[in-house]
Chain A
Amino acid sequence: MNFEHTEDRRMLADSIGRFLREQYPFETRDKIVKSHQGWSRGHWTQIAELGSVGALFGEADGGYGGTGFDIAAVFEQLGRGLVVEPFLGTLLVGRAIAAAGSDAQRLKLAEIIAGNCVAAFAHGETDAGYELAHVATRAERKGDGWVIDGTKAVVAHAEAAGLLLVSARTSCDLADEAGISLFLVPAGTPGVSMRGYPVIDGGRAADVTLEGVVLGADALLGKTGEGFGVLERAVGAGIVALAAEAVGAMDAAKDATLEYLRTRKQFGVPIGSFQALQHRMADLLLEVEQARSAVINAAAALDEPDRVQRERTLSAAKFTVGRVGTLVAEESIQMHGGIGMTWELPLSHYAKRLVMIDHWLGDEDHHLQRYVALGRSGREPALHTTNSGLGSTEEA
């Protein structure tokens, strides 16, 4: 039993942390968020060059990490720095290619790992909520290739992406796990249009419409109709990432609030001397440590072969950071009082990110229900056998 990161992982985390403190202070981040692009390719490239993207993938896939703890170590730093650049999409799409990609498609993965290609995860749809299997976008065979029609909602960094991963239904009914296929769609493919907008927690997203998008046979990622397992494994990595990012942001919000309690005076004394606030802060600390434990559990479970056990632990973590992140955000604002309501205070942006992390890849309600449903499926004979057929993510 050991709860320390390896030397390599600590060094990587330290260098990302140092870079962000020096080169990505709040004023810089604020300028980036308000810019037309909504992210900074310069900062993205520099953070990637530190090794942050390579750490997200195993050696067999051209990276040098790839375990849950590698992902967690990187994203915890990104959370502390409140980074808006497109790391999550890169992770999600990259992991999907690593799991199911052909040799040709894996060349694209090398570009992604090198930081030369931004990738976006174009999966969610307006009526899907957080349900991973809900895919209405359709792909029909046309000759050797495919034609895709549908709309993907709130795709993070879609406008910046050189490559989109698009899910589409090739068979079965609307919310079936079977019958989902995945496609790699290069930016600028005819028939792809976007309506972009800034998102409230920083960065940009877009609704992506695909109208008669014609793709070659080589665009299909993995086997026809078997995309769900690939999605689930990629999203699992994404959950570890977001949960670790949330803990990094919680630490920053907690530190800022604690500092404020020590320095802000009212009635002639620091407000931290009031028991009403001390007890709330003590509870906050306790909850943040629980969230940290949940991330450790999830990172350890990411490569667990037993699906029910793995996915339950991942859902438990996303549920926990959803609940705790929102609590930390709300309590931090409240304990700051009026100043916590202002744009100029970095804390308020941490609070926004913490609350909105609950809106990416499933919120606390979704994951609590999923946790229960998975537990039930574990008790009864499996009704659906989703065999992801993945083996490439299991380096130690």
Chain B
Amino acid sequence: MDLNFTPEDEAFRAEVRAFLESRLPARFAERVRAGQQLPKADIVQWQHILNERGWLASLWPTQYGGTGWNPIRKFIFDNECALAHAPLVNAFGLSMLGSVLIKFGTEAQKRHWLPRILDGSDWWCQGYSEPGAGSDLASLKTSAVRGTDAEGEHYIVNGQKTWTTLAHYANMIFCLVRTDREAKKQQGISFLLIDLKSPGVTVRPIITLDGEHDVNEVFFDNVRVPAENLVGEENRGWDCAKYLLTHERTGIAGVGHSLAALGRLKEVAAKLRKNGRPLADDTSFAARLARVEIDLENMKTTNLRVIATVAAGGAPGAESSMLKIRGTQIQQEIASLDRRAMGPLALPAIGEACEKEVDELAPVVPADGAFAAARYFKLRATSIYGGSNEIQRNIISKTILGL
């Protein structure tokens, strides 16, 4: 038993820290710290900075321009980035599609698409959910029919995707589509890469309850997709989808982000006054804060246990479902405490937050708390997306408990 990282890993941590100190633009960190969504240009710039250092694709092997890190290095890197309030990179391309292409893609697909993810030529979004296919993802109906014309083999895609995060930033979407209506649910699904600029694609915003535009609906009306954009075998797309769910998910608990959020909350609680006394001295607030801090410390160790198993060659199975449930519960509880900490000052609704600098917002609201309530509402999504927490409990009960 040894909870310490090796000296080599600690040296790596110091290297990451030094890099973040010198290369992370302060205005990015400020916005992230305040809980604001960054404009696309800022995220792209941050991705360029990381890519220059060779640290952008933290899940890919080195031969494809990735870091080749083991899960421990990745954990350290993610944590340091979160604690420094670095912007999140676009996981849809870098983590999800990248991993699928490396596992299931042809050499030509890897050579074409992976460099474009690294250099920012493509911004990917994910086309999984449909209006009628949420938790029951395999019931998806968007159809792709194979055919041949003068320009070659292709699919014609019709249907609708929804909850498409940052589709309005994206030029490409990877989709699960139905290629065989007769086959049993999971077996007639294929994994297809679609250019959002193709004729027949429409992207419409969905405004969420916090007033923000993060997610979209994407409509496909007779969209022509070259057959070479099929990843893996036709009708075997579910393998790709499942691979995403069971692999490379050791970071799903979001330990670093919760540590950063908790640190910020504690600073706020020390500064804010309640009836003239520091909020941190309020007995019930302090107890709730302590509870979530203890939960987070416990989960951090649970996460490291899973990572140690993976680093030793084991597979992360349904443990990632446990991390997802507890991780999102903790994120939501911290956001809830953030909101409560602000008291009546959580009420002012500040629209178009993204367009303004934090200190220009509202005179009575401390900058720290300007987005507290909106953020709380935004984070209700965490226990719904990525396989709702109820679906995660189904996975645990089937896979670990054998019920």
Contact = CB atoms under 8 A, between A and B. Distances in A.
B295 A272 contact: no
A55 B256 CA distance: 36
Contacts of A279: 390, 393-394, 397
A289 B322 CA distance: 9
A368 interface: yes
Contact of B401 (A282, A294, A296): A282
A273 B294 CA distance: 33
A3 B397 contact: no
Q: What size tier do the contact residues of chain A reach? A: 35 or more
B3 A272 contact: no
Nearest to B395: A282
B291 A368 contact: yes
Contacts of A297: 3, 297-298, 301
Contact of A320 (B287, B298, B304, B396): B298
A369 interface: yes
Contact of B3 (A1, A282, A319, A368): A1
A291 B390 CA distance: 22
B57 to A, nearest CB: 24
Contacts of A107: none
A299 interface: yes
A372 B397 contact: no
A70 to B, nearest CB: 10
A273 B398 CA distance: 10
Contact of A3 (B1, B290, B396): B1
A34 B2 CA distance: 42
Given A279-B397, A289-B302, A296 B1 contact: yes
B118 to A, nearest CB: 30
Interface in B179-217: none
Secondary structure class of chain B's binding surface, majority of residues: helix
Contacts of B394: 275, 278-279, 282
B308 interface: yes
B290 A368 contact: yes
Interface string A258-293: 100110000000001101011101110110011111
Given A2-B1, A261-B403, A273-B403, A293 B305 contact: yes
A189 to B, nearest CB: 41
Most buried by A among B287, B390, B403: B403
A63 to B, nearest CB: 18
A278 B401 contact: yes
Interface in B270-290: 270, 280-281, 286-287, 290
A316 interface: yes
Most buried by A among B6, B9, B286: B286
A103 interface: no
B100 interface: no
Contact of B402 (A262, A286, A313, A368): A262
Interface in A349-396: 368-369, 371-372, 375-376, 379
Contacts of B290: 368, 371-372, 375
B4 interface: yes
A300 interface: yes
A241 to B, nearest CB: 16
Q: What size tier do the contact residues of chain B reach? A: 35 or more
Nearest to A271: B403
A319 B3 CA distance: 21
Contact of A290 (B287, B302, B396, B402): B302
Interface in B296-338: 297-302, 304-305, 307-308, 322, 325-326
Nearest to B309: A3
Contacts of A4: 1
A5 interface: yes
Given A368-B287, A372-B290, A282 B396 contact: yes
Contacts of B291: 368
A131 to B, nearest CB: 17
B71 to A, nearest CB: 11
B72 A1 contact: yes
B5 interface: yes
Most buried by B among A279, A286, A299: A286
A69 interface: yes
B133 interface: no
A292 B298 CA distance: 8
Given A282-B397, A372-B290, A1 B403 contact: no
Contacts of B3: 1, 296-297, 300
Nearest to A369: B287
A1 B4 contact: yes
Contacts of B300: 293
A1 B304 contact: yes
A279 B396 CA distance: 9
A296 B308 contact: no
A278 B321 CA distance: 14
Contacts of A273: 403
B1 A293 contact: no
B400 interface: yes
Contact of B302 (A69, A275, A293): A293
25 contacts: A1-B5, A1-B307, A3-B304, A3-B305, A258-B403, A261-B403, A262-B402, A278-B393, A278-B394, A279-B390, A279-B397, A282-B393, A282-B401, A283-B393, A286-B396, A289-B322, A290-B295, A290-B326, A291-B298, A294-B294, A294-B297, A296-B301, A371-B294, A372-B287, A376-B281
Given A3-B1, A368-B287, 17 more contacts: A1-B2, A1-B9, A1-B308, A3-B308, A272-B401, A279-B393, A281-B401, A290-B295, A293-B300, A294-B298, A296-B1, A296-B301, A297-B301, A371-B290, A372-B290, A375-B290, A379-B270
Interface of A: 1-6, 69, 258, 261-262, 272-273, 275, 277-279, 281-283, 285-286, 289-294, 296-297, 299-300, 313, 316, 319-320, 368-369, 371-372, 375-376, 379
In the A-B complex, the 4 residue pairs with the closest CB atoms? A293-B301, A278-B397, A282-B396, A282-B393
